[in-house]
Amino acid sequence: MTALGFLYPGHAAEDDYPRIEQTLASDIRLPLVHVPARGGEAGWPGEVLAGEAAEELRLSGAEAVVWASTLGSASGGPDEAVRQADRLAKDAGAPASGTAAAFVNAARELGMTRVSLATPYDEAQTETLAGYLRAAGFDVVRAVAGGPASPAEAAGWDAEAQAKLVREAAEPGPDGVLLACTALRTAAHIPQLEVAAGRPVLTANQVSVWEALRLAERRVREPALGTLFTVLPPVRG
């Protein structure tokens, strides 16, 4: 059995993880530890809370750990994201990453260079994430802010609301659309989103799980989780 651990802020779309676990239908387990959401999804829980959560995941046998917050892992820029991951790795005793880095690695896995961004955030928060992606070397051809929506509001967005957002983001013809926010429930309808966009769509909880699998050096093919889960083997980094 492979256990992959996630620090998840608050309570919104955490049921995506057992859904993904069931979809994979294998020996992969996805334990979550909740940490307080500070300022919505954006807040890093701090060294003490993050350390306690990472320790709990270590005791669960997690072979890789991901800080499952898009803004929380992007708002300080790439250097802060690396610092967060290094701290989590030390506390969890396992390789670690964050959702923002997962988006970067997943987009590179699919050969994307020109991307569009769609979020339930306000314009300033959306631009923060767009800036993170630019710093990672991507051409962000469009950034669509669908919010501001609280995590609870974002968790209530259905497949059609999400599809409308990715269709708008896909209009300039990017290589793919990145649908941000781990408060969005996307695991049940990623192929539907890709049909709406007419190109690969990466979602926050999807890439968080993929990143943990990458860190644990597991190779999984599951088309129900989108184009990302049809590429083998994953890039190791």
Q: Exposed, middle or buried: residue 61 (CB in 10 Å: 0-12, 13-18, 19+)?
A: middle
Query: Would you state the pLDDT for residue 182?
Result: 95
**2-101+206-230: CATH topology:** Rossmann fold (3.40.50)
**Share above pLDDT 70 across residues of the chain, in percent, rounded to a whole number:** 91
Query: Would you state the pLDDT for residue 87?
Result: 87
Where in the chain are the domains? 2-101+206-230, 112-203
Query: Given pLDDT bands bounded at 50, 70 and 90, which one contains residue 214?
Result: very high
Whether 237 has a pLDDT exceeding 50, the answer reads no
Contacts of 104 (CB under 8 A, 6+ apart): 133, 136, 138
**What token pair was written down for 117?**
């961004």
Whether 62 has a pLDDT exceeding 80, the answer reads yes
**112-203: CATH topology:** Rossmann fold (3.40.50)
Angle at Cα 35 formed by Cα 82 and Cα 62, nearest 5°?
A: 65
Query: Would you state the pLDDT for residue 231?
Result: 83
Whether 207 has a pLDDT exceeding 80, the answer reads yes
Whether 197 has a pLDDT exceeding 60, the answer reads yes
Q: 3-state SS of the chain? A: CEEEEEEEECCCCCCHHHHHHHHHCCCEECCEEEECCCCCCCCCCCHHHHHHHHHHHHHCCCCEEEECCHHHHHCCHHHHHHHHHHHHHHHHCCCEEEHHHHHHHHHHHCCCCEEEEEECCCHHHHHHHHHHHHHCCCEEEEEEECCCCCHHHHHCCCHHHHHHHHHHHHCCCCCEEEECCCCCCCCCCHHHHHHHHCCCEEEHHHHHHHHHHHHCCCCCCCHHHCHHHHCCCCCCC
Query: Would you state the pLDDT for residue 232?
Result: 67
> pTM for the whole thing?
0.92
Query: Would you state the pLDDT for residue 76?
Result: 85
Query: Would you state the pLDDT for residue 186?
Result: 97
Query: Given pLDDT bands bounded at 50, 70 and 90, which one contains residue 235?
Result: very low
Q: How far apart are CA 55 and CA 5, in angstroms?
A: 11
Q: Which of 26-30, 37-41, 109-113, 174-178 has the lowest mean pLDDT?
A: 37-41
Query: Would you state the pLDDT for residue 77?
Result: 87
Mean of pLDDT values over 202-211:
98
Q: Give the chain's length.
A: 237
How many other β-carbons are positioned within 10 Å of the β-carbon of residue 197? 23
Domain 2-101+206-230 matches domain 112-203 at the CATH topology level: yes
Taking only the tens place, the pLDDT of each residue in 148-192 is 988 899 999 999 999 999 999 999 899 999 999 999 999 999 999
Whether 55 has a pLDDT exceeding 80, the answer reads no
